[in-house]
């Protein structure tokens, strides 16, 4: 089965961002992935289709009720099982709740999800969802970072987009996904295009040389340097993975790191003069 996301959301129209535009739209047209949105209001048990209520214990805001959400999730699971039975595959899907309390989303998690049959994405609103719904129905909580959004839809859109671009055939140039930041644990190198000089700023000469090996080495050095300077925690993780792995640092990586450290020392010495 193709990668499929079933999204439980109060605002299904927001997902036109991935179905109607760009890489994800083209991949959808190529049947590389599927999307269906499920509005929990359709499972509300009152004439006003209410899905939220005041929190017990007081406090500001409203909390999404467990009942409509669980019934929506159950309907999704039934539909997935029925669909999977047609191709003799297991249909129950993992339920992922997009929440600032979840584990940070990483490239490794994206790659694993992209290689699966997808998931049910639960998008909260207001002050969140009833904790009992999480205990009963949610398999995993994922977060985009240590900040709060108005709802889970933006996080779900980011997750979908990140997964879809990993699918074979989604990108016009298959090398693009392989060279993204985080694929090998490092930030991406800087990129340049025409003109060769913009506002007195030239393109690095090595990129104009046509010497592919020198260009590859320059790009690797830039990735190492950028990660070391901008994301020291990511760089430390990359070093630890190299140390724990069977290969360790390659001779080239060790040499480039020595060059970077020497450049930093020289820079500090020049500042002190």
136 among known catalytic residues: no
**Measured between alpha carbons, how far is 11 from 34 in angstroms, rounded to an integer?**
18
Q: Which of 140, 180, 184, 253 is catalytic?
A: 180
Computed over every residue of the chain, the mean pLDDT equals 92
Q: Which of 55, 100, 109, 141 is catalytic?
A: 100
Mean pLDDT of all residues in 35-54 = 96
Q: Which of 127, 141, 179, 188 is catalytic?
A: 127
269 among known catalytic residues: no
25 among known catalytic residues: no
180 among known catalytic residues: yes
Whether pLDDT at 211 is above 70: yes
Which pLDDT tens digit goes with each residue over 87-144?
656 567 999 999 999 999 999 999 999 999 999 999 999 999 999 999 999 999 999 9
Domains and CATH numbers, the chain: 3-164 (3.40.1280.10), 181-272 (1.10.1270.20)
Mean pLDDT of all residues in 183-196 = 91
Which pLDDT tens digit goes with each residue over 64-93?
999 999 999 999 999 999 988 776 565 679
Can you give the pTM of this predicted structure? 0.88
Query: For position 243, what pLDDT does the model report?
Result: 83
Query: For position 267, what pLDDT does the model report?
Result: 77
Which pLDDT tens digit goes with each residue over 220-242?
999 999 999 999 999 999 999 88
């Amino acid at each position: 089965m193709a990668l499929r996301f079933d999204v439980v959301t109060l605002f299904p129209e927001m997902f036109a961002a991935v179905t109607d535009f760009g890489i994800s739209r083209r991949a959808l047209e190529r049947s590389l992935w599927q999307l269906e949105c499920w509005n929990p209001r359709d499972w509300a048990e009152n004439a006003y289709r209410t899905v939220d209520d005041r929190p017990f214990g007081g406090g500001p805001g409203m909390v999404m009720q467990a009942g409509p959400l669980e019934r929506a999730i159950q309907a999704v699971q039934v539909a997935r099982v029925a669909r999977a039975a047609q191709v003799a595959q297991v249909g129950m899907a993992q339920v992922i709740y997009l929440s600032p309390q979840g584990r940070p989303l990483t490239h490794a998690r994206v790659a694993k999800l992209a290689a699966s049959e997808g998931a049910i994405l639960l998008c909260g609103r207001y002050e969140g969802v009833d904790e009992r719904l999480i205990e009963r129905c949610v398999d995993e909580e994922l977060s985009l970072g240590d900040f709060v959004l108005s709802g889970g839809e933006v996080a779900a859109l980011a997750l979908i987009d990140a997964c879809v671009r990993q699918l074979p055939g989604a990108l016009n140039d298959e090398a693009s996904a392989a060279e993204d930041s985080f694929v090998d644990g490092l930030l991406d190198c800087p990129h340049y295009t025409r003109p060769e000089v913009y506002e007195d700023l030239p393109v690095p000469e090595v990129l104009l040389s046509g010497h592919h090996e020198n260009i590859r080495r320059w790009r690797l050095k830039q990735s190492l340097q950028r990660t070391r300077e901008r994301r020291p925690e990511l760089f430390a993780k990359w070093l630890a993975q190299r140390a724990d792995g069977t290969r360790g640092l390659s001779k080239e990586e060790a040499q480039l790191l020595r060059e970077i450290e020497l450049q930093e020392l020289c820079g500090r010495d020049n500042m002190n003069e």
